[in-house]
Structure 1
Amino acid sequence: MSDRLNQMAAFVEVARQGSFVRAAERLGVNVSATSRGVAALEARLGVRLFQRSTRRVALTEAGRAHYARCEALLNEFDDAEAAVSQLSGAINGTLRVTIPAGLGMTHIVPFVAGFLERHPGLELDLSLANRIVDLVEEGYDLAIRVGGQRDARLVVRKLGSSRRVLVASPDYLERRGTPRTPAALASHTRLVLEVGLAPRVWRLVNGADEVAIDTPSRVRSSDAIALRRLCVDGSGIAFVPGFVVADDLAAGRLKRVLPRWASPVQEIHAIYPANRFIPAKVRAFVDYLEGILREVQ
């Protein structure tokens, strides 16, 4: 039975990673062991599960059908072990989490050490990425995201909220002048955060008033930390989450531009697969983050 579980684990991880090498790294075994496990599974089933080439590994039609079943079985197995482990009060294993880079670097990474100290048996696989990760397909336990989420396979829990704000360096404003109205932004250098459905359109609200700014941008980046650095260096006006620039505003390295205007409220969510059993490691990390992110602005 253990051989069959190992073979299924190898198959599922190769499917997730699209690579035998990366799958072996995730599983903590050598590549030949992963390859042998998949080959043994294919031999027992009498079908080819992957199309292999020098550049990529892709599931066959039979592989796609079997992947869904294997993943469900392995999840049930993990849930069963987690349920028993939880009775002892210990939290063990590996927690795979994906978090936006800006939020992660400013409000989560600084507190990770404290969480790990509380749970010495836990390993953390932390991905700081701004792309929308498919938790189910890519095998993540948890995502922290800013903004909405619609997927029946996932559970969404609000942790906090934030707004994007307009900021610029004192040097830039001295050189180019300070905008007094949203329309005046058209004559300034815009630094655009390429995140969301229409990132180049800045939606600004002030009470019941709302405007949309859509003018050419000088710099575009998916990394809020990079835009923050450019903004501090005087490269233009950025429209970024307030939590990314809070320290710079407090220290005077940046100033609010049009301080009465900001984005609509954006909620910060914890998102995890809608299994019947929520692993203790996920519950513990989400509870820990809620205390941190509740105060984010």
Structure 2
Amino acid sequence: MARLDVNRSGEMEVFVKVVELGGFSAAARAFRMTPSAVSKLVARLEERLGARLLNRSTRALKLTPEGCGFYERSVRILEELDEAERQAAASDAPSGRLRINTNPAFSRCILIPLLPAFLARYPSVTVELNLTDKLIDLLDERTDIAIRAGPLKNSQLTARKLGETRLVIVGSPDYLQRHGTPKSPTDLATHNRLSFSYARASVSWPLMDGATELAVAPVGSVEASDGEALRQMVLAGVGLARLAVFQVKEDLDAGRLVPVLEEHNPGDTEAIHALYLSQGQHMPARIRAFIDFLTAHVRMP
């Protein structure tokens, strides 16, 4: 393990310059050092490596076999360092892998339709898309951006609001024909109420009965880890579920699903946010570009 006080790239630069310019004095002038300082630096490098890199004479310096190998590798490493710095400094050209985590419903309905335009605008960016409804640790999961619905918890993440979505209780025409359409919140007691299998900010369905606020617990035969699975269960006629309007809008428009108890719906909404680690002026261009793109193009129904 190298000691932290050893500037290995600096040693390589000086050594390479000594070889390329043919002596300590010429390298010293290039780095504005004294020839003695350069000579001592190369000597310390040889001592640390346990190998002689240069054969010294009064007329010239010659590379040893070990010195030849070290010189060639040093040149390649320094070139790669220069390239890494150039890429990191190219803040005006988004590039690289963008890791996005969101829930399956938002991905299907909102994100995936927008991605082709984003990728066409930034062809040097590649997207890695991971889908889950559960909260994740961005650092542990090596994620750049997480998109989530609902109230925000206190955290070290920065949030950009993308929009709001209304929630609606829905069922399939087949299910409602077999079990009847609920006319009041109390009618839900006889219905199969599908729910999420993880903790959410609101575990009950809020409803209004006149001026009275009610909270109906979703108790049924299916719990699912994401809203898209619940949507598929509702489409299959298994029961009722309370889902985001953006997720079921196409189903409602096509008649595959039917809203129920809308006159008792309090009209509450969930906010959609893009969450990311705050990096100030050093935020990678690919992340900044994607956040700005989402903010400009996400339209919640």
TM-score of the alignment, normalized to the shorter chain, above 0.5: yes
Question: SS where residue 280 of structure 2 aligns?
Answer: coil
Q: Counterparts in 2 of 1:110-259, with a 5 A limit?
A: 110-197=113-200, 200-204=203-207, 209-214=212-217, 216-259=219-262
Of 273, 283, 286 in structure 2, the residue corresponding to residue 281 of structure 1 is: 286
Q: Does 1:269 align with 2:273?
A: yes
Q: CA deviation at 1:136?
A: 2.7
Question: SS where residue 138 of structure 1 aligns?
Answer: coil
Distance in 2 (alpha carbons) for counterparts of 1:99 and 1:219: 22
Distance in 1 (alpha carbons) for counterparts of 2:199 and 2:208: 17
CA distances 1:33-56 after superposition (whole Å, capped 9, x unpaired): xxxxxxxxxxxxxxxxxxxxxxxx
Distance in 2 (alpha carbons) for counterparts of 1:2 and 1:126: 39
Contact 1:193–1:240 (8 Å) recurs in 2: no
**Amino acid in structure 1 at the alignment position of 2:287:** V
Q: CA deviation at 1:204?
A: 3.1
Contact 1:186–1:215 (8 Å) recurs in 2: no
Mind listing any 5+ residue stretches in structure 2 that lack a counterpart? 1-5, 10-83
CA distances 1:46-81 after superposition (whole Å, capped 9, x unpaired): xxxxxxxxxxxxxxxxxxxxxxxxxxxxxxxxx976
Q: CA RMSD in A?
A: 2.7
After the TM superposition, list the runs of 4 or more consecutive aligned residues in structure 1 that deviate by more than 4 angstroms. 1-4, 79-83, 205-209
Q: CA deviation at 1:291?
A: 3.1
Identity percentage of aligned residues: 36
Q: Does 1:102 align with 2:105?
A: yes
Distance in 1 (alpha carbons) for counterparts of 2:245 and 2:7: 50
Closer/same/farther in 2, CA of residues 191 and 246 from structure 1, 3 Å limit: same
After the TM superposition, which of the residue ranges 208-217 and 251-260 deviates more from structure 2?
208-217
Contact 2:170–2:258 (8 Å) recurs in 1: yes
Contact 1:163–1:262 (8 Å) recurs in 2: no
Q: CA deviation at 1:123?
A: 1.2
Distance in 1 (alpha carbons) for counterparts of 2:280 and 2:186: 51
Question: SS where residue 105 of structure 1 aligns?
Answer: helix
Q: Which residue of 2 aligns with 1:70?
A: none
Aligned residues: 220
Distance in 2 (alpha carbons) for counterparts of 1:207 and 1:91: 53
Q: Which residue of 2 aligns with 1:30?
A: none
Contact 1:82–1:279 (8 Å) recurs in 2: no
Q: CA deviation at 1:2?
A: 11
**Amino acid in structure 1 at the alignment position of 2:291:** V
Question: SS where residue 117 of structure 1 aligns?
Answer: helix
Closer/same/farther in 2, CA of residues 168 and 83 from structure 1, 3 Å limit: same
Question: SS where residue 136 of structure 2 aligns?
Answer: coil
Question: SS where residue 256 of structure 2 aligns?
Answer: coil
Distance in 1 (alpha carbons) for counterparts of 2:198 and 2:256: 24
Distance in 2 (alpha carbons) for counterparts of 1:218 and 1:192: 9
**Amino acid in structure 1 at the alignment position of 2:257:** L
TM-score normalised according to structure 1 size: 0.67
Mind listing any 5+ residue stretches in structure 1 that lack a counterpart? 5-78
Question: SS where residue 194 of structure 2 aligns?
Answer: strand
**Amino acid in structure 2 at the alignment position of 1:189:** N
Distance in 2 (alpha carbons) for counterparts of 1:279 and 1:252: 44
Contact 2:194–2:218 (8 Å) recurs in 1: no
